């Protein structure tokens, strides 16, 4: 340490701050077994669903007739008629929520946030960094979910017939939605930061799409439900087109901005630790 008492008030730029925080969050993500466990879970789940229900004997009706049903539904339906319409890549966003809760929960449990917020770090940086890191983790989960589906479909012998353009648009839509979901979960974990189990429960509750289920009960099978994150996920279906991707992108970015602003406001107004 220098002998002088000179004071230099450094004011790191937003880019420099966010770069530092992202490098720490990504370092942590890649060095925690949690991340690898969840991307493995994302691969196993579609394989299990297709593997155990796709063989269709006399007792069990086949859940899917086409491999890509494991990725998305045929048409945007907000009120599901059978569990097969529910058990697709959207499930990544439920498991992703639990992963985000554990990831952010560790920050509070270890006292890391206390250490972080006594540096020049700003609350908004924290939310942005967490949302981006967790969105990346969910995108990876989407990737392994896709791989698990393809592998299981091939093993079971399901059809792979699909409009390739629509499939790509559906996949892109779901991957893009990861940012909105990650922001929602980050926000929920900020609200319930002092109670780890409640934050996990809330992530699961919102991850199952409870808002859209309630809204669909009132509004019916309407496109207006795209205003919900889950609605846009449903819209990313096997009949998707470029417009669907734009809707998912708009919805994902809009919700992440809203959740980040709300989360920043809450963190700024409340005691950190």
Partner 1 sequence: MNAIEIRNLCKNFGEKQALVGLNMTVPMGSIYGFIGENGSGKSTTEKIICGLIHKTSGEVKIYDREHTDADVRANMGVLIEAPGCFPNLTVWNNLMIQATNLSIKDKANAVRKVLTMVRMEGAAGNKFKNCSLGMKQRIGIAMALLGSSKLLVLDEPINGLDADGMRIMREILTDIAKSGATVLISSHILGELEKIATHYGIIRGGKMICEMTADELESSCPRFVALKTSDMKKAKETLKEKFKRVEEDEQKEYLRVYDAENPEQVVKYLYDNSIIVNEIWVDKIGLEEYYINLMNGKGEA
Task: Return residues touching partner 1 (CB under 8 A).
Answer: 1-5, 7-12, 16-17, 20-21, 23-24, 27-28, 31-32, 106, 110-122, 269-273
Q: Least distance in Å: CB of 6 to partner 1?
A: 8
DSSP 111: T
Q: Least distance in Å: CB of 14 to partner 1?
A: 11
Q: Which is nearer to partner 1, 18 or 49 (CB)?
A: 18
47-50, Cβ contacts within 8 angstroms, sequence gap of 24 or more? 47/148, 47/149, 47/151, 47/152, 48/152, 49/87, 49/152, 50/149, 50/152, 50/153, 50/156, 50/158
Q: What are phi and psi of 159, to 5 degrees?
A: -70, 150
Q: Where are the alpha helices (DSSP H) in the chain?
A: 14-30, 33-53, 91-110, 112-116, 123-156, 164-191, 196-207, 210-219, 229-235, 242-269
Q: Least distance in Å: CB of 9 to partner 1?
A: 5
Q: Which is nearer to partner 1, 103 or 146 (CB)?
A: 103
Q: Least distance in Å: CB of 10 to partner 1?
A: 5
Q: Which is nearer to partner 1, 11 or 59 (CB)?
A: 11
Q: Which is nearer to partner 1, 113 or 128 (CB)?
A: 113
């Amino acid at each position: 340490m220098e002998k002088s008492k000179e004071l230099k008030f450094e004011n790191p730029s937003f880019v420099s701050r966010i770069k530092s925080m992202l490098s720490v969050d990504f370092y942590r993500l890649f060095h925690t077994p949690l991340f690898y466990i969840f991307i493995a879970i994302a691969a196993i789940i579609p394989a299990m669903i297709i593997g155990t229900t796709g063989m269709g004997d006399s007792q069990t009706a086949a859940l899917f007739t086409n491999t890509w049903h494991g990725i998305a539904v045929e048409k945007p339906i907000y009120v599901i008629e059978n569990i097969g319409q529910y058990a697709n890549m959207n499930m990544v966003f439920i498991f992703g929520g639990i992963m985000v809760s554990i990831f952010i929960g560790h920050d509070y449990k270890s006292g890391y946030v206390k250490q972080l917020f006594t540096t020049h770090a700003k609350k908004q940086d924290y939310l942005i960094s967490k949302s981006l890191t967790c969105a990346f983790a969910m995108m990876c989960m989407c990737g392994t979910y896709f791989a698990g589906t393809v592998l299981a479909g091939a093993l079971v012998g399901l059809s792979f017939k699909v409009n390739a353009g629509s499939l790509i648009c559906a996949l892109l839509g779901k991957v893009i939605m990861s940012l909105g979901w990650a922001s929602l979960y980050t926000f929920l974990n900020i609200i319930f930061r002092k109670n780890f189990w409640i934050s996990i429960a809330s992530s699961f509750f919102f991850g199952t799409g409870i808002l859209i289920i309630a809204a669909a009960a009132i509004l019916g099978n309407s496109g207006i439900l795209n205003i919900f994150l889950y609605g846009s996920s449903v819209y990313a279906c096997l009949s998707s087109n470029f417009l669907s991707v734009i809707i998912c992108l708009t919805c994902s970015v809009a919700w992440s901005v809203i959740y980040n602003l709300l989360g920043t406001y809450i963190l700024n107004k409340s005691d950190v630790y």
